[in-house]
Amino acid sequence: MANERPRIGFIGLGLMGMGMARNVAKAGFPLTVFNRTRARAEALAGETGCALADTPRAVAEASDVVITMVSDVPDVEQVYLQGGGIREAARPGLTCVDMGTVGADAARRVAAALAEKGVAFVDAPVSGGSWGAEQGTLSIMAGGDEAAFAACLPVFEAMGKKIVHCGPVGMGQTTKLVNQIVGALNLEAVCEGLRFAQQSGANVEAVLDAVGAGAAGSWSWSNLGPRIAREDFAPGFKIDHQIKDLRLALEAAESMGLKLPGTRLVLEHLRTVQAAGGGEQGTQAMITVL
């Protein structure tokens, strides 16, 4: 692999992947992309000149480092392990990075299936929302061995501002689930505080300004609070995906004998919004439950 500019493959150009892949292209990496809905890949190719591939396997054949950013556990298993998947292009020297949120068990399963063929794997989920993806300011939480992490670092630097090597494979996902637990409870707090402000007849703009600068300020308050105030429920991060993440967190907690009652409550609220047809809305739509 060339040290300076490895060839990058990118699979999954959704709300997150599109901005991330665009930043990889902008940083000058040779880029090959695949998206299940081809029109999104064609749009990125038109904009950046990146190459298009017909399958995840073809992406891997053209790349030194392959990044995946698809939705859930079955989707990750499909792009890696099923027909036309990345594993069919396995060769020593190839490094694969999954950046979606799928939990540590899935990361370890994919890593083991690739290791049999000499392929390195890093789990590197992210935080920062689709806005962070567009701006290249994501937090990246990586799990994998030192050499594999080092192979990915240049391309991580094109997508993120804070990059932390958290330990072996699975520890990136574990760290991300910590992030999801804290973020979920934070959003619950933001929703409850803003409902209280609205119901009290307070000037919500003033409340947002004053509270954001104090001890209760947070990413959720500053980024989601203003959207809640103007009833903008367009997704940066979909309710459906946060339900997946809290399910993964609660499953992992249960296996360790932990209860996490607050996380359970938030999951219940999110499921209520989902049941009313709001699964594709942004997580800030959780305020509608209150």
Q: Supply the minimum distance, in Å, between the C-beta of residue 244 and ligand NAP.
A: 6
Alpha-carbon torsion angle 28, 29, 34, 37, nearest 10? -20
Q: Supply the minimum distance, in Å, between the C-beta of residue 52 and ligand NAP.
A: 14
CA 103 – CA 9 distance, rounded (Å): 22
Asked if residue 228 lies in contact with residue 204, where contact means CB atoms within 8 angstroms, the answer is no
CA 138 – CA 11 distance, rounded (Å): 18
Of these, 5, 27, 30, 40, which contacts ligand NAP (CB under 6 A)? Answer: 40
Residue nearest to ligand NAP (CB): 14
Task: Say which amino acid occupies 95.
Answer: T
Catalytic residues, which ones?
Answer: 176
Q: Supply the minimum distance, in Å, between the C-beta of residue 254 and ligand NAP.
A: 20
- Looking at the DSSP bridge assignments, the partners of residue 32 are 9, 51
Q: Is 183 in the site for ligand NAP (CB under 6 A)?
A: no
CA 178 – CA 184 distance, rounded (Å): 10
Residues in the chain: 290
Per CB under 6 A, contacts with ligand NAP among 52-111 are: 69-71, 75, 78-79, 100-101
Listed ranges 214-222, 232-240, 251-259, 261-269: which one lies at the site for ligand NAP (CB under 6 A): 232-240
Q: Is 16 in the site for ligand NAP (CB under 6 A)?
A: yes
Of these, 2, 3, 4, 37, which contacts ligand NAP (CB under 6 A)? Answer: 37
Of these, 9, 12, 170, 172, which contacts ligand NAP (CB under 6 A)? Answer: 12
The closest of 31, 272, 42, 22 to 130, measured between CA atoms, is 22
**126 or 211, CB closer to ligand NAP?**
126
